[in-house]
């Protein structure tokens, strides 16, 4: 924003530092001067004003106030006493504000016997230097006072106002106005206007209208100085795509007490320059008057926060130079500070401390190492085990997803969730968000449905909260999903996960649904198991039933593991039992076993392991076959059996002996046949 060096100088008796030096001083105190250039007999300073300082520093007076505080100078104010004469302002004009929340203050004066003419050269030069085009003395004085004080003003020709009424209201739908630059705008209810009893005269806070503009025939003017709601002005400016110097200032907020100061300053200049006669009094709509805020400032806290000791006298001088009023009890280390109404950015003690530090000079505060102790945060086991679990599954090729926390009524019925266990939301935003999810499974399946046409194999998991209408309303669950005929692959993933979490004594128990569950059961009846540790159930592993697959229109077979993560976390351990890798070679033998279809693989594995004893290192099921060559009601299971000793190399004779013992144990079972 551009500022005139000579204009700033006019506020002081003392000589200001040269422009370049003044720029350095301002930059040192948080006002960056981006450029300084010569303009005829003046210098222009381009100062970057931060948005929070717009209410008081988008003006020459505001910047002069900052210079006074930084350089410890006294401000000089011109004495302009108004010579009011003739009738009262309220005899000429009536003001009506429809909504006091949108127009916070509206101040008006009437000036008669105006002689409209070009402005004096000194006003024209200053306006031109700062990028404004001179029009006539009335308009130019309004712009001049805006640049000086920060308060936008507007002048209307009183003779062009219908019924001598000014009404501040919202525009009507498709209401039109032609502005001073001959542009036509179509308005609506989002735009605030200044109107008379018939038509809009100006777009409030943005631009004046052509209808009541000042021209050479104007004799009596109504001078407006108002304060409009910054949000209303911003919305209206955006709506009609028009930004002006006035709207820019209103959008950043203005001091409510500034309207009277600015209108009196403009009236004084119009009396002096345009030979106007100022009518008595004001019309002033001011429903909620503002008072200076009071803030208690603790000097000990100030010293702790800034890290430097500043004398109380210096602190008081800084605050007074900035326009604050200060009092102190001689026996207290606290100051009571009254914040002037033009400092809208000051609300708490820390704001005052920032002002004191800025004016005192941050460069004068010594750099020291902090003396505070660094206390390590307390370890959060919930986060630790969540991160560990996610890491293991991601390394196994799974992708983590985040789904919403709701299910609808149709899904609740499909998955056999009883109404008594569901938590219904009081005010759902749609039917799809009627209940809080009692399980992570439904939303994982919906994710597969949306993505199955893009991906062949899907591995996803979610670790999140579920909600059940019981004693425990909210708890964490871990659910993973794999597509394809991968029941035993999923079992391997579960084994790996639990081992990584330091959990042993894992076994799988075939789950037998109750008669009620059998009617609507989400798991495949032959491929579903409870996951148990130490005899206690911690989760389920199973293939999704055909009915659910059909209802959700899922193409590939899906296997899901579902854990109560609260239980999982309680039995997890960071301690890992170290087993050294045997230095002796292993040997592999295969067994193909023909069994009835209802025989569980886990039962076969248990018998092989019991018969083989300590020499069996691992058993892998690598094939299940049910085809034309297999007798009806039978299936073929094929296993790799890995033999290895920890203290010696096993001989072929020793391995064959164990293998024969296993075959004999298996063939003792009715209907079991080892295929040779």
In order of start, what are the domains of the chain with their CATH numbers? 2-71 (3.30.56.10), 84-285 (3.50.40.10), 293-363 (3.30.56.10), 381-571 (3.30.930.10), 587-675 (3.30.70.380)
The answer to whether 134 and 119 are in contact (CB under 8 A) is yes
Q: Which two tokens stand for residue 84?
A: 């009011």
| Tens-place pLDDT, residues 244-274 | 999 999 999 999 999 999 999 999 999 999 9
Q: Which two tokens stand for residue 642?
A: 């890995």
- For the chain, the C-alpha Rg in angstroms (whole number) is 42
Regions of the chain short of the pLDDT cut 50? 518-519
Distance CA 52, CA 56 (A): 9
Closest CA to 58 of 324, 255, 242: 255
The answer to whether 453 and 540 are in contact (CB under 8 A) is no
Q: Which residue(s) pair with 97 in the sheet?
A: 168
Query: Largest alpha-carbon pair distance within the chain?
Result: 129
Element (H, E) at 249: helix 245-252
Say what the pLDDT of residue 513 is.
63
The answer to whether 335 and 355 are in contact (CB under 8 A) is no
Classify residue 180 by burial, with Cβ atoms within 10 Å: 0-12, 13-18, 19+: middle
| Tens-place pLDDT, residues 475-489 | 999 999 999 988 888
Distance CA 412, CA 416 (A): 6
Distance CA 424, CA 434 (A): 6
Distance CA 530, CA 536 (A): 9
For 332, residues 6+ apart whose C-beta sits below 8 A from its C-beta are: none
SS3 633: coil
Tokens 């008595």, residue?
Answer: 280
Say what the pLDDT of residue 516 is.
53
| Tens-place pLDDT, residues 565-610 | 999 999 998 877 677 778 889 999 999 999 998 888 878 888 998 8
Distance CA 202, CA 222 (A): 13
| Tens-place pLDDT, residues 387-442 | 999 999 999 999 999 999 998 888 888 887 877 778 888 888 888 888 899 999 99
H helical segments located in 380-476: 381-395, 409-414, 441-451
Closest CA to 539 of 515, 567, 517: 567
Say what the pLDDT of residue 520 is.
53
Distance CA 615, CA 618 (A): 9
DSSP string of 282-300, one letter each residue: -EEE-SS----EEEEEEHH
Distance CA 363, CA 28 (A): 8
The answer to whether 223 and 202 are in contact (CB under 8 A) is no
Distance CA 356, CA 350 (A): 10
SS3 500: helix
Strand spans (E) along 332-458: 334-339, 399-400, 406-407, 423-424, 435-436
Query: How far is C-alpha 50 from the chain's CA centre?
Result: 22
For 132, residues 6+ apart whose C-beta sits below 8 A from its C-beta are: 143, 147, 245
Query: How far is C-alpha 474 from the chain's CA centre?
Result: 26
The answer to whether 395 and 500 are in contact (CB under 8 A) is no
Q: Using the Cα atoms of residue 168, residue 170, residue 172 and residue 176 in order, give the sign of their dihedral.
A: positive
β-strands 435-436, 523-533: how paired?
unpaired
Closest CA to 312 of 321, 294, 300, 323: 300
β-strands 435-436, 423-424: how paired?
antiparallel
Tokens 């100030």, residue?
Answer: 302
The pTM is what?
0.61
| Tens-place pLDDT, residues 531-547 | 999 888 999 999 999 88
Closest CA to 185 of 193, 170, 175: 175
Distance CA 461, CA 447 (A): 11
Phi-psi region of 403 (alpha: psi -120 to 50; beta: other; left: phi over 0): beta
* Integer CA distances (angstroms), 448 to 31, 227, 434, 435, in order: 57, 57, 22, 21
Q: What are the contacts of 651-656 at 24+ separation with CB within 8 A? A: 652/587, 654/615, 655/587, 655/589, 655/615
């Amino acid at each position: 924003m551009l500022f005139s060096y000579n204009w700033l100088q006019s506020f002081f008796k003392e000589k200001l530092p040269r422009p370049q030096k003044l720029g350095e001083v301002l930059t040192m105190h948080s006002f960056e001067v981006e450029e300084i250039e010569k303009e005829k007999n003046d210098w222009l300073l381009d100062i970057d004003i931060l948005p929070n300082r717009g209410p008081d520093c988008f003006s020459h007076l505001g910047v002069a106030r900052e210079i006074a505080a930084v350089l410890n100078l006294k401000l000089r104010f011109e004495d302009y006493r108004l010579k009011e004469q003739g009738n009262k302002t309220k005899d000429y004009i009536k003001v009506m504000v429809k909504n006091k929340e949108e127009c916070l203050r509206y101040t008006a004066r009437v000036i008669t016997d105006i002689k409209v003419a070009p402005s004096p050269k000194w006003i024209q030069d200053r306006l031109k230097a700062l990028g404004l085009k001179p029009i006539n003395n009335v308009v130019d004085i309004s712009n001049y006072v805006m640049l000086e004080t920060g308060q936008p003003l507007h002048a209307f020709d009183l003779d062009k106002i219908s019924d001598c009424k000014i009404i501040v209201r919202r525009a009507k739908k498709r209401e039109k106005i032609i502005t001073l630059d001959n542009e036509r705008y179509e308005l609506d209810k989002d735009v605030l206007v200044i109107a008379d009893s018939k038509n809009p005269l100006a777009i409030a806070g943005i631009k004046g209208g052509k209808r009541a503009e000042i021209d050479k025939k104007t004799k009596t003017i109504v001078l407006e100085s108002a304060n409009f709601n910054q949000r209303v002005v911003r919305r209206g400016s955006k709506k009609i795509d028009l930004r002006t110097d006035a709207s820019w200032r209103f959008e950043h907020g203005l001091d409510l007490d500034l309207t009277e100061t600015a209108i009196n300053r403009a009236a004084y200049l119009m009396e002096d320059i345009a030979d106007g006669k100022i009518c008595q009094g004001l019309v002033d709509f001011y429903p909620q008057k503002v008072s200076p805020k009071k803030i208690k400032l603790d000097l000990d806290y100030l010293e702790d926060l800034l890290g430097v000791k500043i004398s109380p006298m210096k602190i008081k001088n800084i605050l007074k130079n900035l326009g604050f009023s200060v009092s102190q009890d001689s026996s207290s280390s606290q100051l009571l500070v009254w914040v002037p109404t033009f400092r809208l950015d000051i609300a708490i003690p820390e704001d005052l401390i920032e002002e004191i530090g800025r004016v005192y000079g941050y460069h004068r505060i010594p750099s020291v190492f902090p003396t505070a102790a660094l206390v390590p945060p307390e370890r959060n086991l919930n986060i630790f085990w969540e991160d560990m679990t996610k890491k293991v599954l991601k390394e196994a090729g799974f992708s983590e997803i985040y789904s919403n926390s709701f299910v609808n009524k149709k899904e609740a019925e499909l998955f056999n969730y009883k109404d008594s266990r569901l938590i219904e939301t009081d005010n759902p935003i749609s039917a799809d968000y009627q209940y809080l999810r009692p399980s992570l499974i439904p939303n994982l399946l919906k994710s597969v449905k949306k993505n199955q046409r893009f991906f062949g194999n899907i591995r996803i998991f979610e670790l999140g909260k579920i909600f059940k209408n019981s004693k425990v309303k909210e708890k964490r669950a871990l659910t993973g999903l794999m597509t394809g005929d991968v029941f035993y692959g999923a079992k391997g993933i579960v084994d790996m996960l639990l081992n990584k979490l330091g959990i042993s004594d894992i076994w799988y128990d075939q789950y037998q649904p109750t008669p009620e569950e059998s009617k609507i059961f989400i798991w495949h009846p032959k491929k579903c198991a409870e996951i148990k540790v130490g005899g206690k159930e911690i989760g389920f592993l199973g293939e999704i039933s055909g009915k659910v697959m059909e209802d959700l229109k899922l193409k590939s077979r899906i296997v899901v593991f579902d854990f109560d993560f609260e239980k999982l976390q309680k039995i997890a351990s960071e301690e890992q039992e170290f087993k050294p890798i045997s230095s002796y070679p292993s040997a592999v033998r295969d067994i193909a076993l023909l069994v009835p279809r209802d025989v569980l693989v886990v039962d076969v594995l248990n018998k092989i392991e019991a018969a083989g004893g300590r020499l069996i290192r691992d058993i892998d099921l690598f094939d299940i076959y049910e085809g034309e060559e297999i007798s009806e009601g039978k299936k073929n299971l094929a296993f790799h059996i890995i033999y290895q000793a920890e203290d010696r190399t096993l001989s072929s004779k020793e391995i064959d002996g164990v293998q024969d013992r296993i075959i004999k144990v298996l063939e003792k079972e009715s209907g079991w046949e080892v295929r040779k």
